[in-house]
Amino acid sequence: MSEWLPLEAKVPAGQGEVILITGISGSGKSVALHALEDAGYFCVDNLPPELLRDFIKLEHERYTYRVAAAVDVRTAASLPHLLPLIAELRHEGVRIRPIFLDATDDALVRRFSETRRPHPLSSVPAGSDATRALLEAIHLERDLLADLREVCTVIDTSQLRPALLRGWVRSLVGARESAMTLVFESFAFKHGVPLDADYVFDVRVLPNPHYIRELRPLTGRDAPVAAYLEQQPEVIEMLMQIQQFLARWLPSFEEDQRSYLTVAIGCTGGQHRSVYSVEWLARLFDDQHATLIRHRELDARD
């Protein structure tokens, strides 16, 4: 192992960040890397893990303080070394943020079918079922990356357009410094539960503004919807219980050195109740933690 000084001693305070992009093939790693490049990061794709340390050292010696690298299953033989390497770099003072992109099997199959690109782990013998072979490759890849996924911030890209994914990546790396970043995400159950959720709360039992004609075209960010929901005692009661639950357990997650925690709030359409709940909770926790807000269904419409 090469000997070099901790980067914290070389890099001015607040700089020297390293973003590590990884995840399932077809989940949007190239899109995320391009977003970071546009944001001023020096980026490299498909970097073998054993070269990560030297890459970071070289770029910081060149005063490139914002670097990003994509590492994936194409370097499968080296993946077992990546987890201990991340721990070593952090111990040496390197600010490293690993981000894991994921998507549902259906979304991945659709994307590979549309692009007609082969999965890096697939080999399809003549006469075989191509879809089945692709699913087997995806499941194998999930197994190979399972341990790495546990230490990363996960972004579910199943329903994200490239432009929306680029925005989410930029907001994630731009979050202010904090022991742990809280991500509050609204979603519609009819479109599936986000894969990146650490906690999922169901607010479909609350009164639904959708059934009030003048509120139907609005969202949970609009004042009339907020005023209506605030008049319903069960709405505030449920949100207070969620707030108390999170307040009780967040210190334990911080002690476990978790960098990010994603709290997903779901309703039927992802437009009124879940959106209002996310905005309400984010305001409560914003003065204690770095907080990010995502509205999966609303963001997809913008």
pTM for the full predicted model: 0.78
Last residue of a domain, one of 124, 152, 173: 173
Q: How far apart are CA 205 and CA 195, in angstroms?
A: 22
| Residue 80, token pair as written in the block | 């077992």
H helices of the chain, where?
29-38, 52-61, 82-91, 105-115, 130-150, 162-173, 223-230, 233-255, 273-285, 296-301
Instruction: State the pLDDT at residue 215.
Output: 97
Tell me, rounded to whole angstroms, the distance of Cα 268 from its chain centroid: 22
pLDDT digits (tens, 9 = 90+) for 16-37: 679 999 999 999 999 999 999 9
pLDDT average, residue stretch 132-137: 84
pLDDT digits (tens, 9 = 90+) for 140-162: 999 989 999 988 999 999 989 99
Burial class from Cβ neighbours inside 10 Å (0-12, 13-18, 19+) for residue 4 reads middle
Same domain, 168 and 195: no
CB 102 within 8 A of CB 196: yes
Same domain, 160 and 210: no
Same domain, 92 and 192: no
Instruction: State the pLDDT at residue 123.
Output: 67
The CATH number of whichever domain residue 11 belongs to comes to 3.40.50.300
Same domain, 153 and 116: yes
> Would you give the DSSP letter of residue 70?
E
Same domain, 164 and 222: no
Range(s) of the domain holding residue 202: 181-301
Same domain, 146 and 45: yes
> What is the count of structural domains for the chain?
2
1 found inside a domain: no
Name which of 56, 75, 74 is nearest 66 in CA terms. Answer: 56
| CA dist 67 → 3, 93, 120, 154, 168 (Å) | 20, 15, 25, 19, 18
Instruction: State the pLDDT at residue 226.
Output: 97
Same domain, 208 and 165: no
156 found inside a domain: yes
Is it the case that residue 3 has pLDDT exceeding 70? no
CB 99 within 8 A of CB 171: no
Q: Answer with the residue of higher pLDDT: 256 or 265.
A: 265
Last residue of a domain, one of 144, 173, 202: 173
Same domain, 29 and 117: yes
Is it the case that residue 207 has pLDDT exceeding 50? yes
Which residues does 69 contact at the CB level (< 8 Å), separation at least 6?
A: 18, 19, 20, 21, 43, 44, 45, 47, 52, 55
2 found inside a domain: no
Is it the case that residue 127 has pLDDT exceeding 50? no
283 found inside a domain: yes
pLDDT digits (tens, 9 = 90+) for 164-203: 999 999 888 887 666 688 999 999 999 999 999 999 999 9
Above pLDDT 90, what percent of the chain? Answer: 53
Provide DSSP, 1-25: ------GGGTSPTT--EEEEEEEST
Specify the pairing of strand 42-44 against strand 95-102: unpaired
Last residue of a domain, one of 173, 193, 227: 173
Q: How far apart are CA 231 and CA 94, in angstroms?
A: 48
Same domain, 33 and 161: yes
215 found inside a domain: yes
User: Half-sphere exposure (CA, 13 Å, Cβ side) for 122?
Assistant: 23
Band of residue 238 on the pLDDT scale cut at 50, 70, 90? very high
pLDDT digits (tens, 9 = 90+) for 53-99: 888 888 878 877 789 999 988 776 677 888 889 888 888 888 888 99
| Residue 42, token pair as written in the block | 């020096």
Same domain, 151 and 20: yes
Same domain, 164 and 185: no
- Give the chain's mean pLDDT: 87
CB 268 within 8 A of CB 189: yes
Same domain, 141 and 114: yes
